[in-house]
Amino acid sequence: MEIEVLRLGHRLPRDERISTHVALVARAFGARSITYSGQHDAGLEESVKKICETWGGPFKIKYNPDWRNLIKNFRGIKVHLTVYGEPLQNIIDNLRETPRDVLIILGGPKVPSEVYQLADFNISITLQPHSEVSALSIFLHEFFRGKELMKTFENAKVRVIPQPRGKKTLFLNNAPD
Ligand X SMILES: C[S@@+](CC[C@H](N)C(=O)[O-])C[C@H]1O[C@@H](n2cnc3c(N)ncnc32)[C@H](O)[C@@H]1O
The binding site for ligand X (CB under 6 A) comprises: 81-83, 106-108, 110-111, 124-126, 128-132, 135
The smaller minimum CB distance to ligand X, of residues 55 and 121, is found at: 121
The smaller minimum CB distance to ligand X, of residues 81 and 156, is found at: 81
The smaller minimum CB distance to ligand X, of residues 52 and 119, is found at: 119
Half-sphere exposure of 43 (CA within 13 A, CB side): 11
- Report in angstroms how near the CB of residue 135 gets to ligand X at its nearest: 3
- Report in angstroms how near the CB of residue 31 gets to ligand X at its nearest: 14
- Report in angstroms how near the CB of residue 174 gets to ligand X at its nearest: 37
- Report in angstroms how near the CB of residue 105 gets to ligand X at its nearest: 7
Calpha distance 166→23 (Å, rounded): 26
Calpha distance 108→5 (Å, rounded): 13
Which residue is closest to ligand X by CB?
A: 107
- Report in angstroms how near the CB of residue 88 gets to ligand X at its nearest: 8
The smaller minimum CB distance to ligand X, of residues 4 and 132, is found at: 132
The smaller minimum CB distance to ligand X, of residues 73 and 128, is found at: 128
